[in-house]
Amino acid sequence: MLPCLNKKLFGAECMGCGLQRSFSLLLQGDFVAAFKMYPAIYTLILLFLVVGINTFKPFKFSNKIIITLAIINVAIIIGSFAFKNLI
């Protein structure tokens, strides 16, 4: 696993800390632990899936879906970051 430069230099986790480990847990089949490690993992996968499908076969309302998923992801990432650092 790649070390977090932000955590190494400043001693505080960044908003992406846990993503690698979460993806690794997901590949191992530990879905609950993956969610606990990085709560936005499933919505990020869904976002990348929609963007990938839209790249090769554009569909109606894709922009609204992508923007909505992006906003949801940002909210989850910021919320979990704040939760981890404040509690």
pLDDT digits (tens, 9 = 90+) for 5-58: 888 888 888 888 889 999 999 999 999 999 999 999 999 999 999 999 999 999
Q: Is residue 37 part of a domain?
A: yes
Closest CA to 82 of 15, 19, 31, 32: 15
| Cα gap 81→84, rounded to integer Å | 5
Number of domains in the chain: 1
Residue 2 per-residue DSSP state: P
Model's pTM, two decimal places? 0.85
* pLDDT > 80? residue 87: no
- Domain interval for residue 77: 6-86
Left, alpha or beta for 2 (phi > 0: left; psi -120 to 50: alpha)? Answer: beta
> Which residue, among 32, 27, 41, has the nearest Cα to 73 in the 3D structure?
41
Residue 54 lies in a domain: yes
- The better pLDDT of the pair 4, 40 is held by 40
Position 1 in a domain: no
Query: Does residue 71 belong to any structural domain of this protein?
Result: yes
**Backbone phi, then psi, for 68, in 5-degree steps?**
-65, -45
Residue 74, domain member (yes or no): yes
